[in-house]
Amino acid sequence: MLVLGASVYADGTPSGILQDRLDAAAALYFSGAAPYIIVSGDDSLACYHEAQAMAAYLQNEGVPSDVILQDAAGLSTFESVYHARRVYGCERLIIATQTYHQYRALFDAQSLGMDAIGVAAEQGTYDNQVLFSLREIPARAKDYVLGLAVQRGLAGLAEFAGLTGIDQIAQTISEIA
């Protein structure tokens, strides 16, 4: 199972949107739906650790640490799904995220040849939902291009994304949200 990252507060507490994803993953784990949970998020800064915060939250919920795999390089949805496939060897995957985000995550998994299902993780409404939804427009375009690049065997995924300019647009909208 893959839990896609989202904001973490300065004290290491997951945001509400991320807590909902983690709660859904914990419930699925305890129901026997998956033997492992990959927590994938941005740990690129010395003071910001999404994957670590996600793992700590799951452990506090009773999930054993030895079944939690931390992908600290999940800087985007595509990269998180790509790592699940290429680094962790997943061919089948349950993805825990909100419905608005699932369409892209499932597309990414399918473009990488994975059999994936999504689990809706929302427990209510979120502040800034309109911005999250708007951010999906350039992000879906970016992931479509990246999916084509991988399918056609193009090397240098990050360089290719940079050449398209789509990544910068998605990042700008992300910063606004």
Read off the CATH number of the domain in which 80 is found. Answer: 3.40.50.620
Q: Identity (one letter) of the amino acid at 8?
A: V
> In Å, how far are 42, 46, 122 from 156, measured between CA atoms?
20, 26, 35
* Per-residue pLDDT reduced to its tens digit, 66-110: 999 999 988 888 889 999 998 999 999 999 998 877 988 998 999
What mean pLDDT is predicted for residues 47-66? 94
Q: Is residue 41 part of a domain?
A: yes
On the question of pLDDT at 176 being above 50, the answer is: no
The fraction of the chain above a pLDDT of 70, given in percent, is: 79
Q: Is residue 88 part of a domain?
A: yes
Q: Is residue 139 part of a domain?
A: no
On the question of pLDDT at 162 being above 80, the answer is: no
The domain total for the chain is: 1
pLDDT at residue 98, as a whole number:
86
The pTM score is 0.78
On the question of pLDDT at 25 being above 60, the answer is: yes
Q: Is residue 169 part of a domain?
A: no
> In Å, how far are 64, 69, 120, 161 from 10, measured between CA atoms?
25, 22, 26, 29
User: Which range of residues forms the domain containing residue 120?
Assistant: 2-126
Q: Is residue 168 part of a domain?
A: no
On the question of pLDDT at 164 being above 60, the answer is: no
Angle made by CA atoms 1, 151, 147, in degrees to the nearest 5: 60
Q: Is residue 19 part of a domain?
A: yes
What mean pLDDT is predicted for residues 138-154? 71
On the question of pLDDT at 173 being above 50, the answer is: no
Q: Is residue 12 part of a domain?
A: yes
